[in-house]
Chain A
Amino acid sequence: MTAPTVQPVTRLIDQPRVDHYAVAARDPNPIHRETPEAYAGPFGRPVAHGMLVLALMSEAMTNAFGEAWERGGSLKVRWRQPALVPVEVTARATLRSESDGVATYDLICEDAAGEALLTGTASVRLA
């Protein structure tokens, strides 16, 4: 198997999606919802969960690798700025290297203006 091209995933993250995610991911932090804490917080409005943004990246890797992503796939990311809701997020992975049966990708999730929300790397063992 050679390292595949990872197709980007784009999705709107709006408040209903964030509210639904808060329940599904068991993360009740009020800064993600329409709460006084969110509006009084450092960003002045609700912020999407970082793990919700990261979910798009994992979806893109799953699309490219299937079960191999679950069998030895790894990632390491940092959030660069808050994803202020609503935000259209695109997750992209660009092949950096392929050696010893391991493909390594540079990751970025960006908003519609091209501002980086998350960057990092992912590695997958090629079957």
Chain B
Amino acid sequence: MTSPTHFSFDSLSRGDILPTVELTITHDDVRAYLEATGEPAERWDERVPPVMLSALMLATLLGQVEIPAGVMHTGQEHESRRPVRIGEALTVTVTVSSYAVRRGALMAAFDAAARAGDEVVAVSRASVLVPPPEGSSEGDAA
């Protein structure tokens, strides 16, 4: 997976599109993932588990944006359009779909699309919250 650029979280704004990242998931990647999650590996000798793809789409974000301390992953959406083969060359593009400060807490959502060529094979959305700084009087947003 390539991660060509780093952005500070504070520099993001709604509508930003992060640089597209290449992603090819190998047999070793899938094996390591399944060993970690404990899911039986037999059925995944040719294809990528959908939530693994979702996690690696999220990892493209983590690889490009400096995530502030204390950030909480509050929600996740994922839609698989079709099975993804192990070794298939994908690209992932992340868009900042919302970014707002409310009562001192920063709430943001990131939409990611995984493509094989021009075909979208999966889409996901990760929602995160950065609590107000400790001692802030505006800390009741979460």
Contacts and interface: CB of A to CB of B under 8 A. Distances in A.
A5 to B, nearest CB: 19
Contacts, number: 116
A25 B59 contact: yes
B69 A59 contact: no
Interface residues of A, number: 38
Interface stretch (B11-19, B43-51, B96-104, B111-119): B43-51
Given A69-B80, A75-B78, A20 B36 contact: yes
Contacts of A59: 37, 39, 49
A41 B70 contact: yes
B29 A24 contact: yes
B36 A74 contact: no
A6 to B, nearest CB: 15
Size range of the interface on B? Answer: 35 or more
B28 to A, nearest CB: 10
Interface string A48-59: 011110111111
Contact of A51 (B54, B71, B83): B54
A21 B35 CA distance: 8
Q: Which 8 A-B pairs have the closest CB atoms?
A: A26-B59, A58-B51, A74-B79, A21-B36, A20-B36, A24-B32, A70-B83, A55-B37
